[in-house]
């Protein structure tokens, strides 16, 4: 038997009602904030991810579904959504037109990680990207919107936030950090690699020994430039005034290289070891890295599978009609009536002749509100028998 690949899952009914429920509710919310739908291809040029997510990241370094296609192109299944949206933004010259653009998307992402609870090789994200606004209030809005989404689904979460500095304060800080790391013995191999490629990622190391060794390391938030200091303080002040609780987590550096300034994650104690339900941040340089005009930008993505783990869908109410025929001669007219009703109702039909009990059972299974039946008597009298499966009453109505 051929089975789905490791780390890849079918989503089957009835559980995937949850998926649709989540997409519909979340779409409704993000549209209220002015976001519009965008869709980009699942397959992109590999260099896109190397230049954006970054060669030093685990995603690009270890986890890409990368291959050469029949035309000899080096391509890659997208490991995340931001890079493709920025590529599209530049390709379609939104950066040249100027102004503000707000996009949302959802769909599958691919990372060749070791599968475990909450970690798949094909998973789904609902993502948001906002271009053209550098006000700290956009950062606040991202967090408020994400909080509102998680609240609608009654998720327990904690918000972790940090700032990663900018092109003014980051380079001198990086030098200080590298000087510290050069003096520090006993770092793990990953940290030694990070020291060469993207030193601040050492703070993300899960190795206990590295965490101890890094305790006396210089910290970015003590080395901010005035602008970064001021905007981070303003964001925290606004969150305070909105009564949104958060923890400033100095170790939160995110696993993708394109971030600067604000970075945040929502984690939930109701998940296992993979507890990040959503994450995001600012990436003011990325449009430029991909050869566009400098454009401030910020976004986040929700891990849909992780979120669905934690939500209940309100049980769907009975709705619409089930149609069935009791004799061969009634099938054609039953079919036609079902088809007419479908213009404005949810309708299913049992195609074969069955007795009343079997049709009622099928109507129940189809979660229909009404069971509509035509048999020999009904044909003769030009009527249709209808039972309301909620109120339990029944009527005969003229077919026309
Ligand atoms: P990310 O933190 O890599 O960010 O992923 C966002 C969310 O996707 C995570 O918080 C997690 O819930 C989910 N996720 C990631 N990997 C897996 C996996 N292997 N299995 C299941 N769920 C997973 C990004 O991808 C950025 N593009 C977010 C962003 C948008 N930043 C700015 N704009």
DSSP code string of 330-352: GHHHHHHHHHHHTTTS-EEE--S
Determine the longest span between alpha carbons in the chain, in angstroms: 96
- Is pLDDT of 316 > 80? no
- Is pLDDT of 321 > 90? yes
Q: Cβ(83) to ligand 1 under 6 A?
A: no
Q: Cβ(300) to ligand 1 under 6 A?
A: yes
Residue nearest to atom 10 of ligand 1 (CA): 278
Q: 107 C-alpha to center of ligand 1: Å?
A: 12
Beta-ladder partners of 77? 43, 65
Please give the pLDDT value at position 55. Answer: 86
Q: Cβ(299) to ligand 1 under 6 A?
A: yes
* Residue that the structure tokens 């069955």 belong to: 354
Least confident interval from 41-45, 65-69, 118-122, 187-191: 187-191
Q: 84 C-alpha to center of ligand 1: Å?
A: 14
Enter the tokens of residue 75: 């391509």
**Integer angstrom CA distances of residue 359 from 17, 66, 133, 394:** 25, 52, 58, 15
Collapsing DSSP to helix, strand or coil, 370 comes out as: strand
Q: Cβ(81) to ligand 1 under 6 A?
A: yes
At 313, is the pLDDT very low, low, confident or very high (cuts 50, 70, 90)?
confident
The verdict on whether omega for the bond into residue 14 sits within 30 degrees of 0, i.e. cis, is yes
Percentage of the chain surpassing pLDDT 90? 90
- Is pLDDT of 314 > 80? no
- Is pLDDT of 272 > 80? yes
Q: Which ligand 1 atom minimizes the distance to the CA of 266?
A: 10
| Averaged pLDDT, 301-323 | 91
At 359, is the pLDDT very low, low, confident or very high (cuts 50, 70, 90)?
very high
Collapsing DSSP to helix, strand or coil, 241 comes out as: helix
Give the integer Cα–Cα distance in Å for 103 and 34.
Answer: 8
Please give the pLDDT value at position 14. Answer: 74
Q: If you write DSSP's letter for every residue of 60-122 in order, what string do you get?
A: HHH--EEEE-TTS-EEEE-S-SHHHHHHHHHHTTHHHH-S-EEEEEEEEEE-----BTTB-SE
- What does residue 272 show for φ and ψ, rounded to 5 degrees? -80, -140
Enter the tokens of residue 38: 């965008």
- Is pLDDT of 78 > 90? yes
The 10 Å Cβ neighbour count of residue 166 is 18
Q: 81 C-alpha to center of ligand 1: Å?
A: 9
- Is pLDDT of 204 > 90? no
**Integer angstrom CA distances of residue 77 from 104, 275, 312:** 19, 24, 31
The 10 Å Cβ neighbour count of residue 145 is 19
Q: 232 C-alpha to center of ligand 1: Å?
A: 23
| Averaged pLDDT, 335-339 | 97
| Averaged pLDDT, 148-164 | 96
Give the CA radius of gyration of the chain.
Answer: 27
Enter the tokens of residue 325: 């025929």
| Averaged pLDDT, 377-390 | 96
Percentage of the chain surpassing pLDDT 70? 100
| Averaged pLDDT, 288-298 | 97
At 342, is the pLDDT very low, low, confident or very high (cuts 50, 70, 90)?
very high
Q: 340 C-alpha to center of ligand 1: Å?
A: 45
**Integer angstrom CA distances of residue 165 from 109, 171, 198, 284:** 28, 9, 14, 11
* Residue that the structure tokens 């100095």 belong to: 250
Q: Cβ(80) to ligand 1 under 6 A?
A: yes
Give the integer Cα–Cα distance in Å for 28 and 119.
Answer: 27
Q: How many whole angstroms from its chain centre is CA 249? A: 23
Going 51 to 62 to 75 to 83, the CA torsion angle's sign is negative
Q: Cβ(276) to ligand 1 under 6 A?
A: yes
Q: Cβ(323) to ligand 1 under 6 A?
A: no
Please give the pLDDT value at position 13. Answer: 80
DSSP-derived pairing of the beta strands 43-45 and 74-77: antiparallel
Please give the pLDDT value at position 197. Answer: 87
Residue nearest to atom 12 of ligand 1 (CA): 303
16-37 pLDDT per residue, tens: 889 999 999 999 999 999 999 9
| Averaged pLDDT, 85-89 | 98
DSSP-derived pairing of the beta strands 321-325 and 347-349: parallel
Query: Average pLDDT of the chain?
Result: 95
Q: Cβ(264) to ligand 1 under 6 A?
A: no
Q: Cβ(125) to ligand 1 under 6 A?
A: yes
Q: Cβ(257) to ligand 1 under 6 A?
A: no
Please give the pLDDT value at position 317. Answer: 82
Q: Cβ(260) to ligand 1 under 6 A?
A: no
Q: Cβ(305) to ligand 1 under 6 A?
A: yes
């Amino acid at each position: 038997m051929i089975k789905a690949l490791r780390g890849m899952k079918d989503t089957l009914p009835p559980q995937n009602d949850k998926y649709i429920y989540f997409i519909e509710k979340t779409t409704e919310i993000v549209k209220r904030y002015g976001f519009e739908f965008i869709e980009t291809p699942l397959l992109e040029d590999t260099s896109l991810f190397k230049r954006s997510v970054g060669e030093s990241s685990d995603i690009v370094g270890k986890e890409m579904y990368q291959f050469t296609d029949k035309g000899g192109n080096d391509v890659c299944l997208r490991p995340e959504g931001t890079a493709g949206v920025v590529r599209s933004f530049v390709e379609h010259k939104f950066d040249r037109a100027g102004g503000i653009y707000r996009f949302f998307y959802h769909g599958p992402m691919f990372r060749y990680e070791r599968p475990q609870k909450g970690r798949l090789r094909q998973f789904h994200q609902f993502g948001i990207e906002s271009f053209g606004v550098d006000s700290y209030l956009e950062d606040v809005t991202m967090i408020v919107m994400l909080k509102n989404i998680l609240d609608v689904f009654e998720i327990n979460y904690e918000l972790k936030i940090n700032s990663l500095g900018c092109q003014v304060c980051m380079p001198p800080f990086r030098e200080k950090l590298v000087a510290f790391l050069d003096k520090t013995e006993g770092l793990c191999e990953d940290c030694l690699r990070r020291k060469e490629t993207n030193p601040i990622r050492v703070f993300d190391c899960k190795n206990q020994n590295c965490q101890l060794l890094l305790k006396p390391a210089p910290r970015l938030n003590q080395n901010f430039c005035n602008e970064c200091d001021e905007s981070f303080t303003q964001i925290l002040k606004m969150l305070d005034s909105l009564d949104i609780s958060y923890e400033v987590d100095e170790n939160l550096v995110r696993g993708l290289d394109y971030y600067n300034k604000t970075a945040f994650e929502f984690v939930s104690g109701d998940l296992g070891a993979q507890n990040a339900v959503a994450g995001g941040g600012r990436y003011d340089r990325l449009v430029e890295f991909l050869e566009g005009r400098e454009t401030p930008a910020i976004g986040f993505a929700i891990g849909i599978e992780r979120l669905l783990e934690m939500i209940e869908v309100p049980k769907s109410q009975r709705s619409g009609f089930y149609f069935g025929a009791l004799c061969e001669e009634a099938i054609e007219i039953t079919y036609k009536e079902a088809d007419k009703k479908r213009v404005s109702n949810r309708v299913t039909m049992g195609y074969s002749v069955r007795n009343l009990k079997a049709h009622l059972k099928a109507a129940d299974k189809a979660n229909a509100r009404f069971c509509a039946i035509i048999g020999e008597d009904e044909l003769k009298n030009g009527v249709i028998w209808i039972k309301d499966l909620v109120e339990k009453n029944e009527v005969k109505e003229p077919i026309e």
